[in-house]
Structure 1
Amino acid sequence: MKKTVTGCSVEEAMHLLGGRWRLLIVSYLVDEPKRFNELRRLMPGISQRMLTLDLRALEQAGLIRRTVYPTVPVKVEYSLTGDGRRLEKVVAVVKEFGLWLKDRDKQVLAGREVSPALTV
């Protein structure tokens, strides 16, 4: 992982969790382990390559565990480690903030529809 420029703890966390998908991956693993294709279905916008890279990065950081079951075909599951569970609070706060944003956007759109002065 790259070194932080400022030494700030927020920057340190964002180096690992920044980007579009990593925290979302963690959020899907909070409740139960998931297989690779389950994660792909939950995130239709992510490419197979990006999902693979992000899973590897999270595994290398010790936040998720990759378990391979000796079956035919091979079954691979991803789950949060003990360290990964520390992100549950982060996921909850981001989810709450996202719900607030959705609600705010609805109110803004409703306000624009009602007031013709706001439309362009």
Structure 2
Amino acid sequence: MCNKIEVAYHIIGKKWMCLIIHSLMEEPKRFSEICTLIPDLSKRMLTERMKELEDCGIVLRNIITDRPVRSEYSLTRKGHDLGVALLGVESWAEKWL
């Protein structure tokens, strides 16, 4: 059990992870939309974090073949459940920080 908790904290403890998950809670977003929502996050770091979230099964990258071809990111069911869990942290932050 402790190992699973440690892995979870390792994922969400990385800088930007929670904000990226939060930005995808309501609807899928394109890379540029996420950049706009989190202006201090560099494109290089966003690319790295999105890859990590994809590898963990939290984010799904969908290629849209319209012209121009573009990518859209959404939370998987696993990712949405994590986002719901993080809402408690958001409530705490609003109250205490």
* TM-score, length basis structure 1: 0.74
Number of residue pairs matched by the alignment: 96
Q: Where in structure 2 are the equivalents of 1:1-120 lying within 5 Å? A: 7-102=2-97
Q: Which has the bigger relative contact order, CA under 8 A and spacing at least 6? A: 2
5+ long unaligned stretches in structure 2: none
SS in 2 for 1:19: coil
What is the root-mean-square deviation in Å for CA atoms of aligned residues?
1.3
TM-score between both structures, scaled by the size of structure 2? 0.90
Percent sequence identity is 36
Q: Which amino acid aligns with 1:13?
A: A
CA distance in 2, matches of 1:35, 1:63: 16
Q: Which runs of 5+ in 1 are unaligned?
A: 1-6, 103-120
1:19 & 1:100 partners in 2: Cα distance?
Answer: 23
